[in-house]
Amino acid sequence: MDKRIPVTIISGFLGAGKTTLINQLLQSDQACNITVLVNDFGAVNIDTDLIIKREREVMELSNGCVCCSIQSDMVAQLHTMFTSDNPPEYLLIETSGVAQPGRIASVFGYPQLSRFARLDSVVTLIDVANIDGLSDEAHHLVRSQIEAADLIIATKADLVDPEARRAIYDRWLFADLPALEATHGAVPVSVLLDQRRGNLEQISAPETALPNQFVSAHWSSDKSVSYKRLQASLKRMSGALYRAKGIVYCDEFPTERIVFNKVGARIDFAKSGAWDGVPRTAIVGIGYANAITAEQIRHELEVAQGPG
C-alpha cells in the first residue's frame, strides 16, 4: 500500500474557528494516533483533562494524539518527525491565521518530504459573519487562503440569514470549490481526514453520520477501470462530488493496486504494490445531497469500466 503519511492543512483567517474545529476533532472517537502541528499552544485551549503530559514543544493527549508546536524551520522539523522511530499515522497542520497555506502545501513536493508524506487536502475556514468587514490587506490574504483550498468550511453560518450567506458565497467562492457549513466546529471526521487508506477491506462508507446536506455511496467491481473514463466521470461530477477515496483495478496498470483519493479539485493516484489476491476496485464517494444522488455517484463510477 501507499505507506506515506497523509497530511491535512487547516487554514483560515484570525477568528475563523480553527482552534474550535481542532478541539472538536481531538475529542472525537476517531482522533487516535493523529499528530497535530500548531502555531502556538497558548492559542489552543485543549481540555486539561485530555492532556497527560506537557512539555515545552510537545503535548501528549490521553486519546493517543500528540500536539507539537511549529518551529522556525518547519521542513527540518517535518523531516525529523517523518523519519523518527515513531512517525505519526496522520498529520494535521494548523496554520497561522495570517499565513498563506499554499506556501506550506508546496513543501510537501520537496524530495526530502514527498518520500515520506503526501498532502491529502488543504481545508480553509471562512468566518461568514465577519468576512465582508475585513480590511483590504486582510481581504487579499483571505483570498489567497481560499485559492489554496480543496475544501471550504463556512463557520458562524448560523449568525447570517440564508439569503445573505448565498450572496457571500457568490462573492468569495469559486463555483466548483467544495464548501460546507459548520456550527461550533462540528464537522464529520470523515470529511476532514482519510486515515489508514489503502487497505481494501477498510474502504467503506463513512462511519460518522453525515448531515442531511451530504450523501455517500460505495461502489465496487471485479472488472478493471479505465483511467481516462474515471477522469471523465469525476469531471462530470465536479462541484457535486467533493470527496472520494478507494483502490482502483486500473486498465493501464493491471498488475498494481492504485490508491485513489479526491478532495475538491485535488486528485491523487498512487501505485501501492502488487495485488494480493483477486484485483478489485472499491471506491466511496461523498457528495452534496442537493446536487447528486448516491445512485448517480455509483452510475458514474460504473461507466468508468472498460477500455479507455
Q: Are 230 and 248 in contact (CB under 8 A)?
A: yes
**Distance separating alpha carbons of residues 67 and 93, to the nearest angstrom:** 10
* 307 backbone dihedrals φ, ψ, rounded to 5°: -65, 150
Q: What are phi and psi of 97, to 5 degrees?
A: -65, -15
The DSSP bridge pattern shows strands 151-155 and 117-127 to be parallel
Domains in the chain, ordered, with CATH? 5-192 (3.40.50.300), 205-303 (3.30.1220.10)
pLDDT value for 125: 93
For a pLDDT cut of 90, what percent of the chain falls above it?
10
Please tell me the least confidently modeled range out of 152-166, 208-222, 223-237: 208-222
Return the minimum-mean-pLDDT range out of 125-129, 148-152, 162-166, 196-200.
Answer: 196-200
Q: Name the DSSP class of 157.
A: G
Higher per-residue pLDDT: 22 or 144: 144
Task: Give the span between the Cα atoms of 149 and 9, in whole angstroms.
Answer: 9
Q: Quick one: DSSP state of residue 291?
A: T
| Sign (positive or negative) of CA dihedral 44, 47, 51, 55 | positive
What is the pTM assigned to this prediction? 0.69
160: Cβ contacts below 8 Å, ≥ 6 apart: 128, 129, 168
- Does the pLDDT of residue 198 top 50, yes or no? no
